Amino acid sequence: MDPLLPVPTVLPLLTAAVLAALGPVLRSRRRVLDAAAIAVAAVVTAVLVVIMVRTAGGDQVYWFAGFRPAHGAAIGIDFAAGPLPAGLAALAALLVTAAMIFSWRYFDETGTYYHVLMLTFLAGMTGFCLTGDIFDLFIWFELMSVSAYALTAYRPEERGPVQGALNFAISNSVGAYLSLSGIAIVYGRTGALNMAQIGQALAGHRPDGLVVVAFVLIIAGLLVKSAVVPFHFWLADAHTVAPTPACVLFSGVMVELGLYGIARVYWSMFGQSLGHQATVTRTFLTLGLLTAVVGAMFCFRERHLKRLLAFSTVSHAGLFLTGIALLTPLGLAGAAVYVAGHGLIKAALFLCVGIVLHRLGSVNETWLHGRGRLLRVTGAVFTLAALGLADMPPFATFRGKGWIEASAAAHGMPWITAVFVICSVLVGGAVLRVAGGVFYGLGDPPSEEPQMAAEASEETGKTDHARRRTPATMIVPAAVLAVAGIAIGSLPHIGPAVQAAAVRFQDQPAYNATVLSGAHVAHPAALFAPEPAAITVTDLASGLGSAAGALILAFLALYWRRLPLLRRGFEPGAGLEQPIRRFQSGVVNDYVTWIVIGAACLGGTLALSIR
């Protein structure tokens, strides 16, 4: 057993406990706390990259306390690491490192437990990725969630963070309890908590009511975490008020972990027994595309920078779910690389917004118009990242999106490309509009909304605005992450490598054998065959098209008042907007109602189609 496997989870936990135990001593020595947190996060990143490389040839399993399975029954808990889980965990650790470096100068003073909570958050994320036990998955999910709630409410002197944290906590808790119910139900049938053992026990039997119900319930909590419509309302509230480094993690990787959880649960436990691939694809494709469109629409109408980025995350979550829903290796590989690229770029964007907040004291796009001109480097990084968000080649987002579109087209759904392009144009256009308006003073400021102005100017708590220079520790991580987004997309053999990892991830019998009997499966075979992953003309057309479309849309958004033709026509959605925006009411009672009706509808759909 590879002794490195427990390190990504245990090391941050141990460090968090040590930092808290030394709390009274370290309280005045903040730099020690910062350095410790950065060091641990960096070490964890390196360890996970090593694990990712080492598991390319086959998953590695680590049994805690040495309790190996006997006769196909597991009595202990395991970590089962493959390249996809380890890669996602590495992304999480990298973003934590960047966020902690950014926090070095971002906070004038940190509260007692900021570093501790970031470390427990990291441990929850890596544990969630690597574990092979469904209840253990739930535990790391809870640790991630509780740390996130606490980080959201970080500035309780203001009103926004409390509302955001409460809505976040209550919504996600309801989802978590639904998932726990699903876990109990599947345990009642199979008498096991190990994912491979459950998968093996369920496979080969026809899917009856219990299997469908357990699947839907377990997925329900993960869908809430993934901010899929209609479970997504909490995300915008949480992002608007959480401190910037926390937002980096929420958007960059926490939401994506929910989607990973769905993929993991499906392909290690329920895939073989549910069958009905066409139904599953159709259902989750609908959810994914609905989420993508709704998120993109809300994103474009936002004026609060963080909220705008939050809705763009919702939109991308929908696109990732679409890739997973295709159930093909290329679709999953596309989603994986898209997640990686998006995580790096979104983190860079949030860090830039943090710099704007730090230097200028606001996140209101209208007020900030033109005021960002002195932040030249930040503006450049922000614009570069914005182009990445619009899926321009050679960003990793372009590669991932291209694969999802190719796989969809090969399976009879070429129109998905159109939806992807529309969403990229809307989201990219919104962010480029911000780039052009705030950092370059182009065009006119967008229309003022008094409520937005009030809340967007609230975020001046622990940061001291009107600093003269942007500290290096704030701009360098942002720049590095944006460039990394390009670098990953340009890796030469990324296609075959990631797709091979996806095939292995999707091969349920191989996973079961590896975990339960230690067998090494040299050639995993998934249900759908791998497809070519080279860059095609269609990919380039769609990627360049989205980027061009986004630029045009941003230009129109900035200059529409000056163009005679459009003066009348460009607020056409205004009449629709108010009723739609009323859905995002800020009242958690509404959010939980949507979770309930969403779960019921999803359950009903699958119950009626899976027999």
96 in contact with another protein (CB under 8 A): no
Q: Alpha helix (H) ranges present in 435-525?
A: 440, 450-456, 472-490, 494-506, 508-517
Residue keyed to tokens 């929850």: 124
Would you call 104 helix, strand, or coil by DSSP?
helix
Give DSSP secondary structure letters for 382-445: HHHHHHHHTT-TTSHHHHHHHHHHHHHHHTT-THHHHHHHHHHHHHHHHHHHHIIIIIH--S-P
Would you call 335 helix, strand, or coil by DSSP?
helix
Q: Of the two residues 307 and 358, which places its CB atom closer to another protein in the complex? A: 307
Question: For residues 575-594, which are near another protein according to CB under 8 A?
Answer: 581-590, 592-593
Terminal CA-CA length for the chain: 41
Q: Which stretch binds another protein (CB under 8 A): 214-222, 324-332, 349-357, 419-427?
A: 214-222
CA atoms within 13 A on the CB side of 146: 10
403 in contact with another protein (CB under 8 A): no
Site string for another protein, 57-86 (x = CB under 8 A): -----xxxxxx-----x-xxx---------
DSSP 8-state secondary structure symbol assigned to residue 369 = T
93 in contact with another protein (CB under 8 A): no
Question: For residues 504-543, which are near another protein according to CB under 8 A?
Answer: none
Q: Which stretch binds another protein (CB under 8 A): 121-129, 366-374, 406-414, 465-473?
A: 121-129
Site string for another protein, 231-250 (x = CB under 8 A): ------x--xx---------
d(CA 269, CA 201): 9
Q: Of the two residues 328 and 362, which places its CB atom closer to another protein in the complex? A: 362
* 72 close to 40: Cβ distance less than 8 angstroms: no
Shortest distance in whole angstroms from residue 474 CB to another protein: 23
142 in contact with another protein (CB under 8 A): yes
Look at phi and psi of residue 197 and say left if phi exceeds 0, alpha if psi is from -120 to 50, else beta: alpha
261 in contact with another protein (CB under 8 A): no
d(CA 17, CA 13): 6
180 in contact with another protein (CB under 8 A): yes
Question: For residues 10-29, which are near another protein according to CB under 8 A?
Answer: 10, 13-14, 16-21, 23-24
Which pair of tokens denotes residue 544? 């360049």
Site string for another protein, 275-314 (x = CB under 8 A): --------------------------------x-------
Q: Of the two residues 153 and 319, which places its CB atom closer to another protein in the complex? A: 153
Question: For residues 413-452, which are near another protein according to CB under 8 A?
Answer: 451-452
* 349 close to 431: Cβ distance less than 8 angstroms: yes
44 in contact with another protein (CB under 8 A): no
Please work out the total of residues on this chain that contact another protein, with binding judged by CB under 8 A.
110
Q: Which stretch binds another protein (CB under 8 A): 171-179, 341-349, 469-477, 511-519?
A: 171-179
d(CA 485, CA 504): 25
Shortest distance in whole angstroms from residue 16 CB to another protein: 7
- Return the residue of 41, 89, 192, 406 that touches another protein, per CB under 8 A: 192
Query: At a CB cut-off of 8 Å and minimum separation 6, what does 261 contact?
Result: 128, 137, 141, 222, 225, 226
CA 7, chain centre distance (Å): 23
Shortest distance in whole angstroms from residue 498 CB to another protein: 29
Handedness of CA 275, 58, 94, 245 (dihedral sign): positive
Q: Of the two residues 245 and 477, which places its CB atom closer to another protein in the complex? A: 245
Would you call 29 helix, strand, or coil by DSSP?
coil
The burial of 477, by beta-carbon neighbours within 10 Å (0-12 exposed, 13-18 middle, 19 or more buried), is given as buried
Least Cα distance to 296 among 413, 434, 390, 155 occurs for 390
Shortest distance in whole angstroms from residue 369 CB to another protein: 20
Q: Of the two residues 216 and 375, which places its CB atom closer to another protein in the complex? A: 216
209 in contact with another protein (CB under 8 A): yes
Q: Of the two residues 24 and 492, which places its CB atom closer to another protein in the complex? A: 24
Q: Enumerate helices (H) and strands (E) in the chain, giving the number of each.
A: 28, 2
d(CA 191, CA 206): 18
266 in contact with another protein (CB under 8 A): no
Handedness of CA 486, 487, 488, 492 (dihedral sign): positive
Q: Of the two residues 159 and 376, which places its CB atom closer to another protein in the complex? A: 159
- Return the residue of 93, 174, 296, 500 that touches another protein, per CB under 8 A: 174
- Return the residue of 60, 120, 272, 508 that touches another protein, per CB under 8 A: 120
Q: Of the two residues 134 and 292, which places its CB atom closer to another protein in the complex? A: 134
4 in contact with another protein (CB under 8 A): no
Residue keyed to tokens 């249900």: 527
